[in-house]
Amino acid sequence: MLIVGNTKAYLSSLKDAELLAKNWRALAKKTKHTLVLALPTPLLSLADNPPLRAAAQDVSPLTSGAHTGEVLAQVLREDGATYVIIGHSERRDKETHEDIREKITRVLEERLTPVLCVGEKERDEEGEYTAHLREQIISALKGRTIKETASMVIAYEPVWAVGGPHALTPALLHETVIFIRKVVQDIVPEAARKIKILYGGSVDEENVHALATEGEVQGFLLGRVSVRGDDMKMLVTKLNEVPR
């Protein structure tokens, strides 16, 4: 499985980031799963220490030029990133579908792996949220090659579950993963079986085992638990009981 820790802006010092990267690396050495840590951009190279891998939390949609404050995919790659989180719900309100598409393109151009976040704001009874999910996926993937699409990761993060008290149930996760794969199948059929789908939103050491075994996902995008040492250790122990 692919386990990505999104440390958001939880870390406020270099010392804390160094310690966290050290702990994650120790966990990565003791598991068959792939562990990836997304530190703040200026510190991301701390996580580029195999078997631990580094992710960036965002990327510029632009190419080089007069764009103050933008960080290019090329810079992230040279700094050690292997993965780049794109379209996280905590950023999506400021981004258009076109921005997200461009970000994915920039990341693929640098041969990095995009972790595209998708997810509904609410789960209505009528199932309208599926149209929203479909639109997010189609706008990001349309026109991509089989190889590009197959190399990508989709992180399904229902917005209401991010930072909330409850994760999605394993049964509903299973159902949604089937739906997401079906949408990918509709646009790039040959990549549908290969694309990795992760779940994120209130995952912790208590619920991870059921989500992993019943949810049909290939990994997780973790938030709060990623910076809690003992809980993170327990979470990896639980995942070690789950086959690859």
Please give the positions annotated as active site. Answer: 88, 157
Which residue carries 């549908």 as its tokens? 192
For 230, other C-beta atoms within 10 Å of its C-beta total 9
- Residues in touch with ligand 13P (CB under 6 A): 6, 88, 157, 162-163, 200-203, 221-224
Residue nearest ligand 13P, Cβ-based: 223
CB of 45 to ligand 13P, least distance (A): 20
* In contact, 100 and 86? CB cutoff 8 Å: yes
Identity of the residue, 174 or 224, whose beta carbon is nearer to ligand 13P in the bound complex: 224
Residue type, 149: T
CA distance 133 to 172: 14
Identity of the residue, 219 or 223, whose beta carbon is nearer to ligand 13P in the bound complex: 223
CB of 167 to ligand 13P, least distance (A): 8
Identity of the residue, 102 or 205, whose beta carbon is nearer to ligand 13P in the bound complex: 205
CA distance 132 to 160: 14
CB of 203 to ligand 13P, least distance (A): 5
Instruction: Identify which of 37, 48, 39 has the alpha carbon closest to the alpha carbon of residue 12.
Output: 39
CA distance 71 to 73: 7
CB of 143 to ligand 13P, least distance (A): 26
Q: Which two tokens stand for residue 207?
A: 């619920």
CA distance 121 to 110: 31
Identity of the residue, 37 or 192, whose beta carbon is nearer to ligand 13P in the bound complex: 37
* In contact, 221 and 199? CB cutoff 8 Å: yes
CB of 202 to ligand 13P, least distance (A): 4
* In contact, 148 and 111? CB cutoff 8 Å: no
Identity of the residue, 79 or 231, whose beta carbon is nearer to ligand 13P in the bound complex: 231
